[in-house]
Structure 1
Amino acid sequence: MFSGLVAGTGEITKIIKQGKTIELMVRPQITNFLADVKYGDSIAVNGTCLTVVSVIDNQFSTKLMPQTFEKTIFRNLETGSLVNLERSLKVGNRLEGHIVTGHVDGVSQVIERKVNENAIELKFSLSQRLVGQIIAQGSIAINGVSLTVMDTSSRWFTVGLIPHTQLITNLDMLTVGDEVNLETDILGKYVVANLSGGRK
């Protein structure tokens, strides 16, 4: 479980594909990020909850199932790509973002980018499957970053990046056509499921 308050970014230093198993090696660009990380810990990488399998020389490795690799933007990443990183929540800490599970719902694409004074406003495509789970002023996780939805329609939604978010995440580098991992608000999922009688 995560909050969407990303600690910073990390660099993918190695991608190893062996049969249907994909192993990633990531070097955090965050001081002491791996100080007490151990085998079996969960880390959100671009909003995807992954399990640490080793920690070596200020890097950690993790293995992805083929489904995770294909369902997320990991299929587009390469050595040198920057990813957002967040450690799992500790009970008793403040929850200043929103509840993020690290289970990506799908991939969305940037369809518009504009700068409004010191903020970057991004418009993303919205699949019909997720309509109803995203509302204006609601929460959404993009590449693991907890953001507030500015506006939405049946085909798109918009968010704004404040300077702090631009500084510590990889979202400021997004341009039109880029893809991101998307996770809608878990509370919204349950509301939609209940109203639809459990139908998807």
Structure 2
Amino acid sequence: MFSGLVNGTGKLTQIEQTDHTIRLTIDLDPALQEGMEVGASLAVNGTCLTVETEQPGRLTVTLMPQTYNLTTFKDLPVGALVNLERSLKIGDRLEGHIVTGHVDQTTPVIKREVNENAIELTFKLPDELRGQVISQGSVAINGVSLTVMKQADDWFSVGLIPHTQTVTNLYQLRVGDLVNLETDVLGKYVAAQLGGISNGRS
């Protein structure tokens, strides 16, 4: 379980693919590694993964092909920045919102505007997730907890304050780029009670 308050970014330095697994090597500031021991849960661009190996300034995580193909990892090049968040501990403050690390869909940026020192990003809202995204509600974009500014039938927008631009990779996004999207888990339960949801993502 995560809060969507990203601890920082790491650099994807190696991608190893075999028939059944994909291993990612990530270089990061050793100061970010507290609590990232082998076996720990780590959200990488909003996807909950397990730390497989760890040494100062470097760690590896492993993905199953389904997760790899249903997230943006399949499109990321070596050298890409990824958002990193350690899992919550009992007693931690929940200052973002509850993020499971189970990505619902990938979705593209369809508009990017700079408004003074903020960046406003507009994303396509997948048909399967309509009803789970509402104005002033919460979403996780590449694992970052954000408040929905505006929402229509087929799009929604969020704003990036300077702090978010500094500590995450979202400032790099341009029109056409895909992101990992996870809707608010509480909204999922409400939607399920009102008629059921099925999106097939994990």
TM range (shorter): over 0.9
TM-score when scaled to structure 2?
0.95
Q: Which structure 1 residue ranges, 4+ long, deviate > 3 Å from structure 2? A: none
Deviation of 1:56 after TM superposition, in Å, equals: 2.4
Could you say which residue in structure 2 is the equivalent of 1:15? 15
Q: Aligned partners of 2:45, 2:187: CA distance in 1, in Å? A: 21
Aligned residues: 198
> Following TM superposition, by how much is the alpha carbon of 1:38 offset from its aligned partner in structure 2, in angstroms?
1.7
Matching residue's letter, 1:150: M
| Alpha-carbon separation, structure 2, partners of 1:199 and 1:142 | 20
Say if 1:144 and 1:195 are closer, same or farther in 2 by CA, change over 3 A: same
Q: Normalised by the size of structure 1, how large is the TM-score?
A: 0.96
1:25 maps to 2:25: yes
Between the aligned partners of 1:36 and 1:148, the Cα distance in structure 2 is: 27
Give the CA deviation at 1:169.
Answer: 0.4
TM alignment of 1:135-146, pairs within 5 A: 135-146=134-145
Q: Give SS of 2:25's match.
A: strand
Percent of aligned positions with the same letter in both sequences? 59
1:72-151 correspondence runs (5 A): 72-151=71-150
Query: CA RMSD for the aligned pairs?
Result: 1.0
Does the alignment pair 1:66 with 2:65?
yes
What's 2:52 paired with?
53
Cα distance in 2 for partners of 1:93, 1:82 equals 26
Superposed CA deviations along residues 172-196 of structure 1, whole A, max 9, x for unmatched, are 0100000000000000000000000
Give 5+ residue unaligned stretches, structure 2.
Answer: none
- Stretches of structure 1 lacking an aligned partner (at least 5 in a row): none
Q: CA deviation at 1:20?
A: 2.5
1:192 equivalenced with 2:186 (yes/no): no
Deviations 1:124-165 (A, max 9, x none): 001110000000000000000000000111110000000000
